[in-house]
Structure 1
Amino acid sequence: MRNILRTAVVGLAAAPLALGHTWIEQMRNVNDKGEYVGEYGYPRGMVGKTDPGFNGNSMNWELPGSNLQGNVFINESTPLCHPSQRKQVQSSDKYPRLQAVPGGFIAMRYMENGHVSLPNNQKGKPKKAGTVFIYGTTDPKEDETLATVLQWSQDGQGGNKGGKLLTMNDFDDGRCYEVNSSPISTQRQKSDPNFAMGQVVEGAPGNYPLFCESSVQLPKTADLGKPYTFYWVWQWNTVPGADPGLPAGKDEYYTTCIDVDVASANVALAADAESKFALGQQDAMTIAVSDFASRTALMTDVMKAEVGPIFSSKPTGAASSSTAGAPAATGGAPFLNTTISAAPTGIPTLTGRPGASSTLSLGNADVVTVTDTVYVTVTAAPEATQPAASAVTPRAAHIIRHKNGAKFRSMFTE
């Protein structure tokens, strides 16, 4: 049985990528030594990739995506949370909330899905695969909107003052990767080898992808015995003028809505994590990224990288004022492989990049079925520090949505 499981791990690690789908899959507490400690924690409404019925939309929440009927820019009513994450409810007992300590650091872990290891797949995207903004509140709303939360500031005085901006991290944490043949992945497989939980072989090369992580500190003022809510917001917009199909640019956000239970250290940090799930859910990494307590981001002002009109015709509130406790802007958004030109007015017809997530099925311990949707790599002029990625696969299926909701499928070959 052990040999069968090890073969399954290699198969999963080598599965092709489905770009554009990322969400928080697990959380860990991080102690002062940078070690993961305590039990695992999970977002609201968690569905694991190996759970029956999992599909690309079970956890993925792209905004605006297809959620706003063809619009390429967010608006005032864009819903923040996935429909299964709008209530403070866990999906099952096996996916509990993380128990976290006031003032303690938390690693929010997610797969990079090619955004880090294959950075040249799409035009006009930001360096470091964009920015993760993490917001916190003790008063979550079921009908919370993205625009409302983006106006929260670090001092809690931005927007409607319903919460605060806690931190900003580059999406690329500096060590994460999918297992592929790209220069970034191959280098990181050597520097940070990874295995599935229970499959570590001393001296052997790693055979498993390594989660990226966002590092966030639970406020020291968080009340023991009460839940605290995090909103994980990944901004990955397309700059105007870079993609001929998106002359005005495109908003692209992904969110995960998460509650943690605030507990004392002897409760939250003492328990040993147990392997409760099928292979593919947990890995053997035991330490957080080295700079977990001092993470930075190239883009520190979420509104500076917003390409749509939502904040351009009205005051941005405290989120853009240095006196209100918001982070200072770094200037224009740093983008990869981008040529900026004047964008025409109006909204493009197409909604931009489609996406579909790989579906992994582990019906029993002996069989692994991998169903995937993969894409042809589009390589622009490589940047000096970011080598062009090689082709992922010789075929791809793209679904493109028009504003009127119609769909068509086209097949491409190299």
Structure 2
Amino acid sequence: MARKQAILLLCIAALSMSHSWVERLMVFHTDGAMVGAPGYARGTVSRLDPSFNDFQMQHLLPQSSESGITPTDRICKATQTIGNYTAEFPSLQAWPGAFIALQYQENGHVTLPQLTPQKKDSGTVYIYGTSSPSDEDTLASIHRVWNEHGTGGDGRGRLLVSRRFDDGQRYQINEGPISKERQNRYHKVAMDPQGADLWCQNDLRLPLDVRRRYSLYWVWDWPTAPSDALPEGKAEIYTSCVDVDIVSDIEQGKMSFVDGQDLNLAGIKEQLVDKE
């Protein structure tokens, strides 16, 4: 019994040390269900690759625990350059005004909060969009600088949405009370690629004026709260960079969300209906 408990604790600790990135993007039908082929973040590496590890996808800023965010810290991981896609992991194809989801795993940051007592909560995700991306784009020139009106900073992009990291439904299977409660409330049949887990998602509507390629910067801001040891707290930010290929000039119609759909494919009503 003691050995089993030790193994369980090690598994939970490993889970809490894993961090999150955009695993997949999907387009929504106007009923609020995901349809079509998935898209991915730039430079996606398969979790099924024998050599896979989190650091191939994780982009943490600041890069050193001894420093803060610097003016030269790039918002995208070095492997996530513009257009870096493969046939196995292509970019999302969408159209002006499309409703889309950016999905990611919660990795215990929501369902096991006791493992990160230095955090006030699971943080906030900011999603920025631009038709004029650059591989030289920096976090400091975009995050909390670009605004929803497109007038912040250099004016090349805008803040599309800000969402809580915890979307209120999602979970990974573990023995924590939050996970157990959500497993009961939001029960679903296991389905790849999520398995028995229910991934988090940020849902949004693309601007109506996008053409050709539109780039998204997903920024998860998860600061450490101020304490005696860290009076000013500490920045901890993770990013994923994504390209969306705009394949049609046809604009998507009004969202008429249908309740009671399969949770493997359903969007979050509150995030979709307020973006019409």
TM-score (norm 1): 0.57
Find the partner of 1:137 among 114, 123, 130.
Answer: 130
Name the CA shift for 1:227/1:18 in 2 (closer, same or farther; >3 Å): same
Deviations 1:314-346 (A, max 9, x none): xxxxxxxxxxxxxxxxxxxxxxxxxxxxxxxxx
Find the partner of 2:227 among 241, 244, 251.
Answer: 241
Alignment check: 8 A CA contact 1:193 1:207 kept: no
Extract unaligned runs of 5+ from structure 1.
Answer: 1-13, 200-205, 269-282, 297-414
Question: Is the aligned partner of 1:215 residue 2:209?
Answer: no
Alignment check: 8 A CA contact 2:18 2:54 kept: no
Counterparts of 2:93 and 2:32, CA distance in 1:
17
Report % sequence identity. Answer: 38
Name the CA shift for 1:229/1:112 in 2 (closer, same or farther; >3 Å): same
* 1:235 counterpart letter in structure 2: D
Structure 1 residue 198: Cα displacement: 6.7
Counterparts of 1:214 and 1:71, CA distance in 2:
31
Question: Is the aligned partner of 1:114 residue 2:108?
Answer: yes
Alignment check: 8 A CA contact 1:88 1:259 kept: yes
Name the CA shift for 1:265/1:50 in 2 (closer, same or farther; >3 Å): farther
* 2:137 counterpart letter in structure 1: E
Alignment check: 8 A CA contact 1:179 1:207 kept: no
Structure 1 residue 179: Cα displacement: 0.3
Counterparts of 1:145 and 1:76, CA distance in 2:
7
Map 1:8-47 to 2 at 5 A.
Answer: 17-47=15-45
Structure 1 residue 78: Cα displacement: 1.3
Name the CA shift for 1:147/1:294 in 2 (closer, same or farther; >3 Å): farther
* SS of residue in 2 equivalent to 1:169: strand
* 2:80 counterpart letter in structure 1: Q
* SS of residue in 2 equivalent to 1:256: strand
* SS of residue in 1 equivalent to 2:202: strand
Deviations 1:23-44 (A, max 9, x none): 0000111122110011111110
Structure 1 residue 191: Cα displacement: 1.7
Q: Aligned residue for 1:77? A: 72
Q: Aligned residue for 1:261? A: 245
Larger Rg: 1
Extract unaligned runs of 5+ from structure 2.
Answer: 1-10, 253-261
* 2:198 counterpart letter in structure 1: L
Counterparts of 1:198 and 1:215, CA distance in 2:
20
Question: Is the aligned partner of 1:49 residue 2:47?
Answer: yes
Shift >4 Å, 4+ stretches: none
Question: Is the aligned partner of 1:96 residue 2:90?
Answer: yes
Question: Is the aligned partner of 1:162 residue 2:152?
Answer: no
Deviations 1:273-307 (A, max 9, x none): xxxxxxxxxx98121122231579xxxxxxxxxxx
Q: Aligned residue for 2:257? A: none
Name the CA shift for 1:144/1:198 in 2 (closer, same or farther; >3 Å): closer
Counterparts of 1:46 and 1:207, CA distance in 2:
19
* 1:110 counterpart letter in structure 2: Y
* SS of residue in 2 equivalent to 1:189: helix
Map 1:186-201 to 2 at 5 A.
Answer: 186-197=180-191
Structure 1 residue 196: Cα displacement: 3.8
Q: Aligned residue for 2:267? A: 288
Name the CA shift for 1:265/1:51 in 2 (closer, same or farther; >3 Å): farther
Q: How many matched pairs?
A: 255
TM-score (norm 2): 0.84
* 1:26 counterpart letter in structure 2: R
Name the CA shift for 1:198/1:97 in 2 (closer, same or farther; >3 Å): closer
Structure 1 residue 147: Cα displacement: 0.4
* 1:47 counterpart letter in structure 2: V
Q: Aligned residue for 2:234? A: 250
Q: Aligned residue for 1:61? A: 59
Alignment check: 8 A CA contact 1:194 1:207 kept: no
Name the CA shift for 1:60/1:287 in 2 (closer, same or farther; >3 Å): same
Name the CA shift for 1:34/1:99 in 2 (closer, same or farther; >3 Å): same
* SS of residue in 1 equivalent to 2:54: coil
* SS of residue in 2 equivalent to 1:240: coil
Structure 1 residue 19: Cα displacement: 2.9
Structure 1 residue 87: Cα displacement: 3.0
Alignment check: 8 A CA contact 2:41 2:242 kept: yes
Name the CA shift for 1:144/1:213 in 2 (closer, same or farther; >3 Å): same
Name the CA shift for 1:191/1:231 in 2 (closer, same or farther; >3 Å): same
